[in-house]
Amino acid sequence: MQNLLSDIVVVDLTRALAGPHAAMMLGDLGARVIKVETPDGGDDSRGWGPPFVEGESTYYLSANRNKESVTADLKSAEGKEFLTKLVRRADILLENFRPGVLDRLGFSTERLHELNPGLVILSITGFGHDGPEGGRAGYDQIAQGEGGLMSITGETEPTKVGAPIADLLAGMYGAYGALAALHERSVTGKGRVVRTSLLASVVGVHAFHSTKWTVAHELPRRVGNHHAQIAPYGLFRTRDDIVQVAVGSEGLWRLFAPIVGLDPADDRFASNSARVAHRDDLTAAIESAFAAEPADVWLERLAEKGIPAGKVRDFQQVYEWEQTLSQGLLIDVDHPTLGRIQLPGPPLRFDDNPHAGARAVNLPPPRLGEHNDSVRAWLDSE
């Protein structure tokens, strides 16, 4: 198939996760992503572990498929010359330095656009590029806490999301902003700077919790494994395991209630508002019924009535699940050190590709400096 972004060159100056994730998304769409790393160890995530397999960090492997790696010391004259050549050939440049660092290296926004007026610059910071705390370093869990996400997650104390969600969301927002700017360039011929941050990414997904505060002036609170504004919607114990059930409408409630021996017209439960107000009584009644049978029996009964429900799977179960496999969410790549390995794949599918992503062939995460010679030869070819 034709790679969607096959004519786009991306210079990736980022490290850790938010920026590399954004660059990987562009690489998944077919862009040529050239990852510029320091010669003395490269991306920080190359050292994050265990686990390491044959010296390769599995953390690094998760965020750097479909890229090439070159090394350069951007503080040196040679490194600056190398980056200058790259910028002139690039369509998008990604950076996640603290505000001002790229300027001190001699590559201010003005200088970058002097070298390449059509360059789209994606800048990802921890807390924004300006404002009273714009210079703060950003790490995922700090942003989850500062951005309010931990205040609505967990049961008895603030709890981080298990995945580094602030980093990942910042990468996703950044990639979609960069593509919007790239589209604009096709009309104007000019690039622009796109900015996002870990803080912005977390605040950007507050969803209904945000308007609960900004409009109703009610402070969102933690409700554990149950939905804050819908009931029953959450995790319930059966005789042998746990299940999750989402009764998201009054029609579903009228189907669900008889399954667990409840009267759908009971005043305590007759509307969603009433069910939320009497959540503890409702949960106790459901779990009392669920205790009579194993989880698989309840899941079958719920499925027969069209009630959304499911298991809580561990990662082994997820990656062995036929539904996961059917969606092309695992890809095989040939790694120069590890041989043939499986990686989580892109989460998008296009109608002319039975697999996830938009590349005819997916590239393994590169070794440090693996493409030094080929990239430099390409730059010197014109």
| Active site amino acids | 167
Structure tokens given for 137: 């370093």
Q: At 332, which amino acid appears?
A: D
HSE-up of residue 75 (Cα within 13 Å, Cβ side): 4
CA 329 to chain centre: 14
Q: Angle of helix 250-259 relative to helix 295-304, nearest 10 degrees? A: 130
Question: What DSSP character marks residue 365?
Answer: P
Backbone phi, then psi, for 152, in 5-degree steps? -115, 10
Token couple for 235: 């995790």
Q: Where are the alpha helices (DSSP H) in the chain?
A: 18-28, 58-61, 77-89, 101-104, 109-115, 140-146, 165-188, 198-203, 208-214, 250-259, 272-277, 279-290, 295-304, 315-320, 322-326, 372-379
Cα–Cα dist 365/330, whole Å: 15
Expressed in angstroms, the distance from the first to the final Cα of the chain is 28
Residue type for position 21: H
